[in-house]
Structures are given as structure tokens and as C-alpha cells.
Structure 1
Amino acid sequence: MNPAPSVIIFTVLSGMGFGYLALLATVHDYSGIAAFWHWFVGYALASIGLAASAFHLGNPQRAWRAFTQWRSSWLSREAWGAVLTLLALAPVALSDWLHLGLPGTFGWLGAGLAVVTIAATGMLYAQIRAVPRWHHWTVPVLFLAFGAAGGCLLAGLRMPSLLALLVLGGMMALHWRVGDGAFARAGSTLGTATGLGGRGQLSVFEPAHTAGSYLLHEMIFVVGRRHVPKLRALALFLSVVLPFLAMLLLPGRYGPYVAVPLHLLGAFAQRWLFFAQAEHVVGLYYGKR
């Protein structure tokens, strides 16, 4: 699929933001002006990510309609989860800032909603059978791993960050390994797509249209095979290896200052590949798969 910058920004920043908010609500005990700035960063990341998602809609002014389909749509569930998380954590943030002494139960509720929101974002893609590479449990788990790693790095938690980065590296490798053979395992071919497979070997004589279309622009994108290993190595190196070394070797608070920007760059690289390598079955009609 053609990687849209808005969706990449949405999934990366919102995942890190909600991961950080969950930790602020349960682990850290900042107070006063320090609490204000930490909560501000978490809310800003989550809000910027969510706002970016609206730019990928055909009619952004109708984004509110996403909230009406929560019974059947993971997009709607993700939208509700995001709003409920931000609302549930607002009293906790105010309590930390203004020394109100709110019970910790409120923080755990909001943290649980944050985790559910990240998982729902992953399920937006894992539910799509037409993209075999995504239709697997590793996708929501990978999103959760990125949220945990990004949140721990922002929070400056050394040992949790190291563990979360190790898990993230393993999940990235597993997702790539499973995804590379997913299209073949799905058994989708030009014959199954057209229903003419019983007539022998098929090939595309002429495309359905010669002008550009939404399908050609959004659903059909091919990454050169020689570039994939390099991009994967870059994503793994930036999002996991270098942040791990920074948190392990740099003293005190300096680790996160180096690790967070590197991890973000790696997350953007991984998420670009996540969309660019997604082979939609509609490409079969154009002889692209």
C-alpha cells in the first residue's frame, strides 16, 4: 500500500503518547509544574497523532461519524478508547499538578483504557483479510510493544526500557518473518480473484482503466526487494539497538535524551515499511501480485 504520512504520524505518535500516559498514571509520582509538563508531553503526543489521522479521511469534517459504529468497527472503538482515555486521565493529571491527592484507582482505569486504545489501533489493520500480511495477531502485539517501549523511554525507566526494547526487537523480527509468507499462505491468485482459475493459467491482458484511481494510488505500491533488508535493518537499529545501548551505557538522565529521538526515527521507518509492504489482494486485478 502507498504509505500516507498522516497515518504513519498517527500510529507512531499516538502509540507512544498513550504508552507514556499509562506509565504517568501508574508508575510516576510527579507533582507541581514537573507533573504539568510530563502530562503535557503525553497529551500532546496522543492528540497530535489522533489529529493526524483525520487528514487521511476523504472528508475530515465527517470524522465524528466514526463514533457511531462502535459495535462493528475497530476504527470507532479506537476513537472511543482514545477519547475515554484522555477524559479518564484528565483528573489524574490535574491532581498531580495541583496536589489534589486523587486515589490511584483513577490512574489504573485510565492506563487500562490507554492499553486498549493502542490494541484497537493495531486491530484496525489486523482485521483486514484483504491484506494477508496484516491479518495476524502479531500486528496488535507489535503496536503494544512500540507503545510500551516508547512510553518507558520517555519515562526514563532504565530496566523496563531495556526489557521493552528486547521484546520490541523480537516482535519486529517475528512480524516480518510471518508477514513475508502471508500472501502465499492466503492462496489468493488472479484465478481466485476472478473466479476463472479452473480455466488454466491466467494473465492480465488490459487493466480495468488507464487513468489513475484511488485503488492504484492507495492500494498498489511495491517496494524494491533489494531495499527491504536495508530498511528493516535501519528500522531495527534505530528503534531498538541504539536506544538500548543509550539506556544501558549513558549515565543518569542522559539516556532518554538520546534514546527517544533515535527510537522515534526507527519507529517511523518501521511504520513506513508496515504500510509499504502491505500487499492488498486488489492488486491481483492489475497483475501486481
Structure 2
Amino acid sequence: MIFDSGSPIGIFDSGIGGLSVLRHIHALLPEENLLYISDAAYVPYGEKSEQEITARCMLIAQYLFARGVKALVVACNTATAASIQKLRAAYPEHIIIGLEPGLKPAAACSNNHVVGVLATQRTLQSEKYQRLRDQLIQENQTRFVAQACIGLVNLIEQTDMDADELQQLLCSYLQVIADAGADTLVLGCTHYPFVRENIENVYASLRPGLAAATIIDTGIAVAQHLQRLLIQKQLQSQRTAEDPAQSGSIAAYTTGDVTHLRSMLDKLLQLNNCPASALPLPG
């Protein structure tokens, strides 16, 4: 596949969560064309087997590389843990960036060495997560209090951020972390930044009188890493230099409800004119 600096960047997730990564990429690299896939027919990945997740990731990667993307961002912690090595082995000539929970920055900034990790069950069970956790425990004597947030992705997909059910679920998941005294919280799923304010408020209510917890969202770091690799491989779009007023395009696709994706682009990213289309993938 031939691609150059004008080729698009592919980004995908099981639903709308990866939009939290897309917004950081678009803010840092506004000149780039972005293709986003929401695999909503299979949301959430965190409750699927590793084999199912990997099969979906390979299928979506195949589609995006056939579209000529110059880089692929796996904007999902669960999908990264399950498939990133297989994706890189299958497409060694491409830039492929995955996500992992921000355990390193969390350990570095925690004052009391107690870090709460909110993630999907599949991410927390992954060898990648457990290996990094054990390494940091040994190096920094950091205690990680992990909480599998079953059902949270589905509620965020419904986008009623003030729903009582959402608040109750967050309270139940954050209570054990508050009891452990964590002063830092890792948002270990790309859906969770969309309820960051809810998480901050609920956590503060469980720790009255204490300083606000530090929140770790790795979306910014992913965008910065992507920029470094594009520059290194001389693939960063040059249109900004040629026409500073011109910005890149964003096109979104979904294996689920197009109307829902369109409304999420409007509501979460204020991308009112972003085209959204159905993507019929086999499987």
C-alpha cells in the first residue's frame, strides 16, 4: 500500500469512547484527515473474549489500511491489550499506536503511592496490564487499586450523563478506591473521559475535606506520540505550511446506529457537520 503525508489517519474503538482520543489528535494535528470507526455492533469490547476482540480489530485494520491510512490508532485499552502485537506483526510497515492505562504517569505523580484504576474487566485481566502493574509495584512501591467498571461503557454510550443509574454505578465503583485512600485516578478506558466531571464530583463526595484527586487521561499522550512518529517518518501533513487556514477533515463510520453516532459527534465534540455513515463489516 502506497501512502504519503496527505494520507488519512485511522482511529477506531468499540463505540464512542475513541472520540475522546480523536478530539486530542484533532486539536494537536488539525491539518490531518481523520477516519473514525465506531464498532458499535460489538460494544463493549471489554465484555468479549480476547479472540473475538482480536478478530474485530484485524477486520477493522484491514478495512482502514485498504483505505490508505498512513497510521492506525487503536483508541481502546481493551483492544490494545488483546490485539496490538498481532496488528503490528501483520502490518510492520505502518504506524500502529495503541493505548494502555496511564499507570506510569499515575505512579509518578501520586503523593501517597496509592492509585485507583478504573478500567474494563478485560483490560485488568490482560497480561500487558498486569506486567506493567507488577513492574511499577516493584520499582515504586505503588499500590494499585483496580476496579472493573462493568456496565459503565454501556451507560456512557447512552450519553445521559446526569442519570441516577450512572451516578450510583460510579459511587459503587469509586467507594473501594476512596476507602483505600487513592489520591490519583487512572481513566483506563477511552469512554471514561466523557464522564470525567462525574467521576471527579463523586470521588470528592466520598473523600470530604481532602484535596481533589489527580486524574490521568492518556489521550493527550497518544496524540503527542502520534505526532512524533509522523514527523520521524516524514508523514505529517504539510497543508498547514501551505495554507494555515485549511484544516483536515473528519469522517466517521459505524457498524451500529448512524443516527446515534451523528448525535454523539454533535453532543460530545460539537462536530455538527461531520459526516457519519454506516459501515457494514462481516462477522
Query: Where on the TM-score scale, by shorter chain, does this alignment land: which range?
Result: under 0.3
| TM-score using structure 2 length | 0.27
Select the structure that is richer in helix: 1
Select the structure that is richer in strand: 2
